[in-house]
Structure 1
Amino acid sequence: MKIKSTITVFLLTLAFGFTACNTEEIASPQNDESSILATTTTGSGLIAKEGNCDDVPGWASQNGGTTGGGTAEETVVTDYAQLKAALQNATVKVIKVSGTITIPAITGGRLSFKDQTGKTLYGESGAKLVSTDQTKSNSGIMNISRCKNIIIRNLIFEGPGAYDTDGWDNAVLDDCQNVWIDHCEFRDGVDGNLDFKNKSDFITVSYTKFQYLKAPKAGGPGGSNDHRFSNLIGSSDTQTTDRGKLSITFARCWWGNGCKQRLPRVRFGKVDIVNSYFNCEGNDVCVAAGFEANIRIEESVFENVNTPIDLSATFTAVSSIHNAFLNTTGNREGKNTAFTPPYTMLTLKNDEVKADITSRAGATINGNICGSF
């Protein structure tokens, strides 16, 4: 490292260092070798490159990178009609959401964001998109389809609570490439909080919080009385066009109150879960490896949860690398050796993760601030 870089890192350490959590660590005994860590750089409390919009973490940095609308002039929206028009207008490249916008409980009310390239959607402090509809046809907040090079930042997506009507998630990425979702919060989705399907690829979700604060509604025709299932990756074992796609990074994310399953549940994808925090007490399963799933879980913390890692009979590989398991029950071991990411990221040690996540994850920044790491 050059002298200038060394001084910069030293100053960042002084400025952004924090006290590590004083909890007992139980490191995963499976795949816990330094050889698997070759693609990451482990720091001690470093928060690097704040304000650098080119410093996209994870899979969204690949395939040409993710820049969204860049520095284009922004359009400010304060109500549903304005937001819908801005999302559907391909010439609008940066949208700023101000205040709370409620999705109308009508046919066609759910927002459609499709067939666009190079766009940023972000919220000012406290901005929120809300849905109150639990029906199969009208639930959900936003369907993002066939979009490329998209940034979504600092927004709260709030649904009406889980109800198994085979309805819609708060948001879904459908056949989208190069998407960076940063500092958002997804809570109380009807079918789920944020799902990924149909060849979506090169996606990073960072500093984002998932939770359920509303009691689930029982008796839905889908069959589950408690469908607080947060994140599904891959819609079906038979959707073989997803093979080789669904490359997704979850970096410094938080699965918190009320989440029961799918944290996430993965089919086909190469999914990298780094420096994330799971403390959804009373859950059933955290990370679930489904059909041909290829998953790395690294330097993350599982606290007061059941079954941190669930292995199906048909998964490909799960590497559990330097994770901490605090008062957990059920399986915490991986099996086989997962993929090696083609990118590098600044990675915290697991005893630094809880303090960082609980203070910074969610819609906690002031607008469209780039470079979270």
Structure 2
Amino acid sequence: MGTRGHTSNLTTGTLTTGTSTRGTLTSGLAAAVAAVIALAAPASAAQRADEPPAATPAAETSPVGWAGQGGGTTGGGGTAPTTVSSASALKTALSSGPAAVIRVSGTISCSGMLKVTSNKTVIGNAGATIAGCGFNVAGAANVIIRNLTFRDWDDDGINVQYSTRVWIDHNSFSNGYDGAVDIKRASDYVTVSWNKFSSHDKTMLLGHSDDNGSEDRGHLRVTYHHNWFNGTNQRHPRVRFGNPVHVYNNYYAGIGSYGVASTKEAGVLVEGNYFENTKDPYHRGEGSSPAANLVARNNHFVNSGAGDAGGSVAGIPYSYPLDAASSVKSIVTGGAGAGRISI
């Protein structure tokens, strides 16, 4: 079984690679995630996009992509889990000093942003929901957030700033106020994978402003893979400064405004994604932010625009499994979102 390798530079529309098969995981990771996952096979491609099938594809037990770099992301590791079912207990557990595995049970209603400190795994039991508030991963390292439903947040769903080695995986986001998953202010080594986003406008911001280059240059390296954008409007993601940012094997369904935007010195590789009913799948520049670099490779389009690509992007330094773009719809709808992993 081969792995996908990359040269140190990407040029517009071209990418030199080796061979790849699905199932190869990022090398050099310490497999210490407390919640071990076992999932079934992919569902049929005939399944409707808005009606997830019962069978789901196997999920990673450690992150693929940038969260696997810089020492890897293991969260609370093998620490004995603590279960919380109230806002006060969750707030205390998230902000505690020691490494922790925090299991969330039931629906927790809250407001504002709950601070998440270093070396935490936060994972939802079946049906676990965070209603009304979000998580603030600020000045932290080594954090995992999985299997939670976030809805109706009054600030951001998840905000990551001044933080490294963060894995946001198999969550569902809907109907919040500002960003669903925003990553900014020198954050680095982040993977956002297998999440479902729906009924929302500003989905994912990467880099908060054009004048923050002194903090952000050389950082904001993020992998977005196997996410399901279900009728959301914009920022999937909207990128500043990060290079390379890797957007691969995501399913874009009925996007309102645009899919991916590369702005202000960014370098974004858009690879092997499935765009359906998406007039503007990707472009360079957005609002007052100037155009930056975007390389598009092997994407699949159904009733969608062609996109705008140009410039060059730094090489991807890690190995990763790459699904055929034409299969991404059935794979992602079969596995993305909360409730699609067992713990």
Q: Same fold (TM over 0.5)?
A: yes
Matched residue, 1:86: 93
Q: Deviations over 1:2-23 (max 9, x none)?
A: xxx9xxxxxxxxxxxxxxxxxx
Q: Deviations over 1:191-238 (max 9, x none)?
A: 12110111010000111111216xxxxxxxxxxxxxx11111111000
Q: Which amino acid aligns with 1:302?
A: F
- The total of aligned residue pairs comes to 299
1:317 Cα deviation (Å)?
1.4
Q: Deviations over 1:3-61 (max 9, x none)?
A: xx9xxxxxxxxxxxxxxxxxxxxxxxx944351x34xx533xx4457769774200011
1:254 Cα deviation (Å)?
1.2
Matched residue, 2:265: 292
TM (norm. structure 1) is 0.75
- 1:292–1:316 Cα contact (<8 Å) kept: yes
Matched residue, 1:15: none
- 2:75–2:99 Cα contact (<8 Å) kept: no
Matched residue, 1:119: 120
Q: Does 1:244 align with 2:218?
A: yes
Change (3 A) 1:53 1:355: closer
Change (3 A) 1:98 1:54: closer
Point out where structure 1 has 5 or more consecutive residues left out of the alignment.
6-29, 132-139, 161-166, 214-227, 369-373
Matched residue, 2:199: 212
Q: Which amino acid aligns with 2:156?
A: D
Q: Which amino acid aligns with 1:320?
A: A
Point out where structure 2 has 5 or more consecutive residues left out of the alignment.
3-10, 26-36, 39-58
Partner Cα separation in structure 1 for residue 70 and residue 24 of structure 2: 23
Q: Deviations over 1:62-121 (max 9, x none)?
A: 1111111111100000111110111111225100001110114xxxx53122xx322100
TM (norm. structure 2) is 0.81
Structure 2 SS opposite 1:355: helix
- Give the fraction of aligned pairs with identical amino acids, expressed as a percent: 34
Q: Cα RMSD between the aligned structures?
A: 2.2
Q: Which amino acid aligns with 1:42?
A: S
Partner Cα separation in structure 2 for residue 245 and residue 84 of structure 1: 29
Matched residue, 1:178: 165
Within-5 A mapping of 1:335-350: 335-350=310-325
Matched residue, 2:202: 229
Partner Cα separation in structure 2 for residue 264 and residue 88 of structure 1: 28
1:128 Cα deviation (Å)?
0.7
Q: Please, which of 70, 74, 87 is the counterpart of residue 67 of structure 1? A: 74
Q: Does 1:96 align with 2:103?
A: yes
- 1:75–1:92 Cα contact (<8 Å) kept: no
Within-5 A mapping of 1:1-373: 31-35=12-16, 37-38=17-18, 41-43=19-21, 46-47=22-23, 55-91=62-98, 93-104=100-111, 109-113=112-116, 116-131=117-132, 140-159=133-152, 168-212=155-199, 228-240=201-213, 241-257=215-231, 259-270=232-243, 271-281=245-255, 283-312=256-285, 314-329=290-305, 331-368=306-343
